[in-house]
Amino acid sequence: MLIRALSILVLTAVSAVALELNLPIDCKLGEDCFVQQYVDRDRGPGVEDYTCGAQTYDGHKGTDIRIRTIADVQKHVAVLASAPGIVVGRRDGVRDHLVRTDEDRTAVAGHECGNGVRIDHGQGWQTQYCHLRQGSVRVKKGQQVVAGTKLGEVGYSGDATFPHMHLQVSKDGKVVDPFLPDPMTPCGTGRGVLWSASASSTLAYQRGALLAIGLTDHVITLDELEAGTPLAAPSRETPVIAYMWAINLQKGDVVDVEITYGGKVVVKNSESLDRNKAQLMLFTGKKAPPGGWLEGTYASEAQVTRGGEPVFKGSQTTVMK
């Protein structure tokens, strides 16, 4: 999706002295930012993240931490140096523009990273930070930085299909998965992370996440949700539409979204996924009945279950008068 692999991914074993990484973004994971994708450890056409899951895509070389919407770019979410080092590369001036078509992708050929920074940490270790907001890069080539130095802000420049920052770690020019650095170690073992204890805890693997849920007065599109502009609230005379927007769902997951009033279900929609979904929007709704909706509190409620067990759920209410 975000950075199209131009070659087969190669992972490298780490040296005895490993790099320690801090969180590369100033946000609250699981609240206003989310890990969308990890390094693809599968060397063939399949996909495999460090847990043996599928939260990646073929050939993906980094860790993508997203914010919800384009509007959230204006919150100036800082991208931070993960470790001390020297800036050996930087680029700014690439416009923020979501890649939707082959024409869009052709337009960013050669600068898929968009606006970015590369830091050398010594002993062959480097980190690269991509898709920064145009005009936000604040470090210079040759500058010494410490962990936590602000490099720029989250944007969607280069080959980006949603606003996020892409962190890529390398040793001697070869990609390293910071969650499981040794390519010979089987996925799912959880051994040898490069993250600091604090960052490792913050970045604990989430098997799916709910980005948004709510009630509105019309059938919405994913583009509307991604834009992040406020949606019109329903009234007693309009349709009532419940929606949910989630990421990193798996084949076999059952997704439910419903509208309730006074504890009773007004309308419900369910979907059983026939394949993995990097993101999914599901909605349900009804037109206003003759005379309009009754006054009171209406709720949009959503839940995802996996193997009969809940993965996550959420709700949002609106009051009609």
- Domain extents in the chain: 33-202, 209-320
Q: Report the pLDDT value the prediction gives residue 191, as an integer from 0 to 100.
A: 76
Residue 270 identity: S
- Between CA 40 and CA 59 the distance in angstroms is 6
Give which of 1, 320, 319 is closest to 159, Cα–Cα. 1
- Pick out the chain residues at pLDDT < 50: 1-17
Report DSSP state, residue 230. P
DSSP string, 54-117: --S-TT--SEEEEES-SGGGGG-PEEE-SS-EEEEEEE--PPB----SHHHHHHTTT-TT-EEE
- Between CA 64 and CA 39 the distance in angstroms is 9
Q: Report the pLDDT value the prediction gives residue 257, as an integer from 0 to 100.
A: 98
CATH architecture of 209-320: Sandwich (2.60)
- Between CA 145 and CA 151 the distance in angstroms is 9
CA 87, distance to chain mean position in Å, is 26
Categorise residue 123: left if φ over 0, alpha if ψ from -120 to 50, beta otherwise. Answer: left
Query: Which residue's structure tokens are 């062959």?
Result: 124
CATH architecture of 33-202: Distorted Sandwich (2.70)
Pairing of strands 85-91, 277-286: unpaired
Task: List b or e across 192-208, with b for residues whose CB sees 16 or more CB atoms inside 10 angstroms.
Answer: ebbbbeebbeebeeeeb
**pTM of the complete model:** 0.91
Q: Report the pLDDT value the prediction gives residue 307, as an integer from 0 to 100.
A: 92
Q: Report the pLDDT value the prediction gives residue 24, as an integer from 0 to 100.
A: 98
